[in-house]
Structure 1
């Protein structure tokens, strides 16, 4: 009996790490499906763009999409569930990286075929796999002042994505930015907020999924959905290795793609740190190295199954933050769903029929939550007697440059533009460098560096305090007397008028003073 009791206690013991919490299978797959819906638009965008640039047929583009879902699912399972040396074991969703789109398009435009793209991804990812343990050593240079900037930037850089989705997703479409699209996004946003407010915790946590489903139903009733393509194509298909032929290896393409891989590793490192902060779990250099190895192994194997570089999806970090579901097994369930979608293209076509504005409405909450999490981290930073305020200010501004001006780096060398075209990479690099400059390289630092300390010394004229009494204090911009009553603060003109009436005995209380001040014309104040 004692042994049975001990066993029961152990079974129900709270996991040592919050991400190790196991939920019922049904709830795990429901939450996991939310993750799939959140990143689905992003994961299919890359094969659509690259396939079109490569000039392949529509059925081959469909093959690329299915392959990206299949590889992304396998990569997600490896990253979240993890095996020895591979996988951060954090709730991180993996998928094909958008960072390589410009480089892959440039390779295709330069005369290389899609086989050359696959060859460059394979070699560059293998290089990333080799250097992953060394890259992970930089974790000690990611204190809260750096991670806070990165997390905030992740949320801010994703807001244009949400806005684009809300407008329709396709800038060439006639109804792009229409009131109907934005209205549908707004309705989805309202549904997320209302469902989040409900007292039922399960409904609140599933608010994103339920709002997307409800938004799709509304769109269907309004004739804004198109399920006509769901029946086109095979129901079941296994991704065929090297379906486009064997990879071709080109030195220039490999060098360019290696830069992309370094950007992907930077973004994945930032996402690992961000989700670790949100989940309130320990993230050290070894865990980052395991995560990067999973990232790079997935990327190296991706070309074999007709896919591209893999990276952690920042938008799903927001889903972890807003739902509070930190279990890595939920994300593993999402990875399994992606694997199934990769094997069952018909299910993928059903998910693809979800209107983009619906995703945009949900994205506003998701991405805004990421930024808010970063701001919360920055609120813990000490800004006294240091230059942390400058680090935050410059890094955030630097990260926003490619967001507000997409052509800013067009005249720079291609390799430079590839790195800094990502707002996340820009902010991360600048924050790390400035943190090194001001907080690690102490030589040359002046005393009292804080911008607060550097403000001019304060002084008050004697006549300005003669009216104050013992115990008076300021609170919320108001002057409060020792007895708790408010003392009106008036202009010189108002003071003169009130003083005259006071001498005549026309003022008996504070309300009289306010009444007189309010009656004076603004031009005379």
Structure 2
């Protein structure tokens, strides 16, 4: 059987050359970079079980079980996504965790009396439906040119900035020191450490700048009394998530309908993250690979309620970490997934990480999330804006995506299904960018220069024989032809054709 791009790699000896995401690093570096991924998303992955658990009126012990389950399932989902099995997993450096998209719906379900059992039942049914329709979602990848992906990636970064700001202020709006000068100073110190360490000429230090800055920032917090490790010894050291510990699932029609909408949003966001990380590391993301990633997302969400967790999706902040560190290996993220599994099985380790001040994470988050936005802007630089509507598509999509960020209550009085879809800036921008690209660049002939024949636009032609020499990912830069692995293609002598 002939190897394909998706199967070939450094270990297979296939036709395709090694992909950037298949790079193998030393074990120590792999786990150090993986731990950096865990730190960058730890606050986000424990936030959802905290919010839902409090809304459900759970005890502190049961909320702790929800958090452990979130870490455990997130780690398993990350391993599935990065390492992959047949038909499941995009095999890209993507961290999986509990999705924020379902928070409002889950809180509404538990508040209306359905309880966590109804939430779990709705997730199981909705994830099963999502698993079936994932390949259909993947087929629309051709409608994601740079004008769409750039708009969505930029919005991902911008929409995460309020998270970084909240972390920098302390994370807990009810705390007396929320937004205090001490918290802001701690965040600023961490940000300064990231910048200084990134500037160091040693590559290893630059790549670990986020992790080192968080460690050093935590030490500063200890010195000034802004963190407390005294509670690390409280509670069990080892605990395995018990299936259906908080009750067997129940199936409520209204809850299922609401969760189906959430799954559509999660599919949209995860596809955007797959495209974003593929763009950042410079690898191919075709419809088959996207379908495998979406199926892994839905399969993880389907299993999550068994262990007491919630829908899974790719974490956008970790896409930013890939861009900052330029560490493209999926095995690094898989190491992070293994660490998450251990944190879920060893609550004592989770309590150690939980002791890292939120303000420290906020300082690092400013760089992480800003880098995602910068990556989107870089993608938008590839877009042709002359004689078409692409500028309007970009402006409207990003503006639409910023509405729920600038005014969180904007959709408060709209139908619940509408608010569920558009309360996320990422899904708002994705829906608008796709719709406008279809309207202006596909459904209305003559409205965009992109739709006209190439010869009508440029007056240039390329022979079939020349095209046969090119492969997906080749590019022309500075008068040189660069292949998809960044290697310059040699020129043939005058009078000869290249092969």
TM bin (shorter chain): 0.7 to 0.9
Q: Residue 341 of structure 2 corresponds to which residue in structure 1?
A: 339
Deviation at 1:444, TM superposition (A): 6.7
Deviation at 1:228, TM superposition (A): 2.1
- CA–CA separation in structure 2 for the residues paired with 1:109 and 1:171: 21
Whether 1:306 aligns to 2:347 is: no
| Aligned mate of 2:291, from 277, 289, 292 | 289
> Structure 2 length as normaliser, TM-score?
0.87
| Aligned mate of 1:217, from 207, 216, 219 | 219
Q: For the Cα contact (< 8 Å) 1:401–1:408, is it kept in 2?
A: yes
List per-residue Cα deviations over 1:55-100 (Å, max 9, x = no partner): 1111110000000000000000000111110000000000000110
Flag the 1:140–1:448 CA change in 2: closer, same or farther, 3 A.
Answer: closer
Deviation at 1:16, TM superposition (A): 1.7
Q: How is 1:421-500 mapped onto 2 (pairs within 5 angstroms)?
A: 421-443=423-445, 445=447
Flag the 1:261–1:193 CA change in 2: closer, same or farther, 3 A.
Answer: same
Q: For the Cα contact (< 8 Å) 1:15–1:21, is it kept in 2?
A: no
Whether 1:411 aligns to 2:383 is: no
Question: Larger radius of gyration, structure 1 or 2?
Answer: 1
- CA–CA separation in structure 1 for the residues paired with 2:81 and 2:136: 19
- CA–CA separation in structure 2 for the residues paired with 1:70 and 1:15: 34
- CA–CA separation in structure 1 for the residues paired with 2:54 and 2:391: 45
- Alignment RMSD (CA, Å): 1.6
Flag the 1:439–1:202 CA change in 2: closer, same or farther, 3 A.
Answer: same
Q: How is 1:122-137 mapped onto 2 (pairs within 5 angstroms)?
A: 122-137=124-139
Whether 1:355 aligns to 2:357 is: yes
- CA–CA separation in structure 1 for the residues paired with 2:229 and 2:119: 32
List per-residue Cα deviations over 1:298-353 (Å, max 9, x = no partner): 00000001000000000000000000000000000000000000000000000000
- CA–CA separation in structure 1 for the residues paired with 2:402 and 2:347: 37
| Aligned mate of 1:253, from 252, 255, 270 | 255
Flag the 1:57–1:11 CA change in 2: closer, same or farther, 3 A.
Answer: closer
| Aligned mate of 2:282, from 280, 283, 299 | 280
Deviation at 1:263, TM superposition (A): 0.4
Deviation at 1:268, TM superposition (A): 0.1
Q: Residue 383 of structure 1 corresponds to which residue in structure 2?
A: 385
- CA–CA separation in structure 2 for the residues paired with 1:208 and 1:448: 41
Deviation at 1:226, TM superposition (A): 1.5
Q: Residue 325 of structure 2 corresponds to which residue in structure 1?
A: 323
- CA–CA separation in structure 2 for the residues paired with 1:281 and 1:203: 25
Q: Secondary structure at the match of 1:229?
A: helix
- CA–CA separation in structure 2 for the residues paired with 1:53 and 1:230: 25
Q: Residue 45 of structure 2 corresponds to which residue in structure 1?
A: 43
- CA–CA separation in structure 2 for the residues paired with 1:446 and 1:135: 25
Q: For the Cα contact (< 8 Å) 2:35–2:339, is it kept in 1?
A: yes
| Aligned mate of 2:375, from 354, 373, 389 | 373
Q: Residue 476 of structure 1 corresponds to which residue in structure 2?
A: none
Structure 2: runs of 5+ lacking an equivalent: 1-9, 452-499
Whether 1:232 aligns to 2:210 is: no
Q: Residue 97 of structure 1 corresponds to which residue in structure 2?
A: 99
- CA–CA separation in structure 1 for the residues paired with 2:180 and 2:412: 30
Q: Residue 179 of structure 2 corresponds to which residue in structure 1?
A: 177
Q: Residue 3 of structure 2 corresponds to which residue in structure 1?
A: none
- CA–CA separation in structure 2 for the residues paired with 1:42 and 1:85: 28
- CA–CA separation in structure 2 for the residues paired with 1:65 and 1:448: 48
- CA–CA separation in structure 2 for the residues paired with 1:307 and 1:408: 29
Q: Residue 270 of structure 2 corresponds to which residue in structure 1?
A: 268
List per-residue Cα deviations over 1:437-460 (Å, max 9, x = no partner): 1110124738899xxxxxxxxxxx
- CA–CA separation in structure 1 for the residues paired with 2:49 and 2:231: 18
How many residue pairs are counted as aligned between the two chains? 440
Q: For the Cα contact (< 8 Å) 1:149–1:392, is it kept in 2?
A: yes
Q: For the Cα contact (< 8 Å) 1:385–1:448, is it kept in 2?
A: no
Deviation at 1:12, TM superposition (A): 13
Q: For the Cα contact (< 8 Å) 2:40–2:317, is it kept in 1?
A: yes
Structure 1: runs of 5+ lacking an equivalent: 1-9, 450-525
Q: Residue 477 of structure 2 corresponds to which residue in structure 1?
A: none
List per-residue Cα deviations over 1:259-303 (Å, max 9, x = no partner): 001100000000000000001000011000000000000000000
- CA–CA separation in structure 2 for the residues paired with 1:277 and 1:251: 39
Q: Secondary structure at the match of 2:147?
A: helix
- CA–CA separation in structure 1 for the residues paired with 2:316 and 2:423: 16
List per-residue Cα deviations over 1:36-58 (Å, max 9, x = no partner): 00000000000001111111111
Q: Residue 155 of structure 2 corresponds to which residue in structure 1?
A: 153
Flag the 1:189–1:84 CA change in 2: closer, same or farther, 3 A.
Answer: same
Q: Secondary structure at the match of 1:230?
A: helix
| Aligned mate of 1:54, from 53, 56, 59 | 56
- CA–CA separation in structure 2 for the residues paired with 1:112 and 1:435: 40
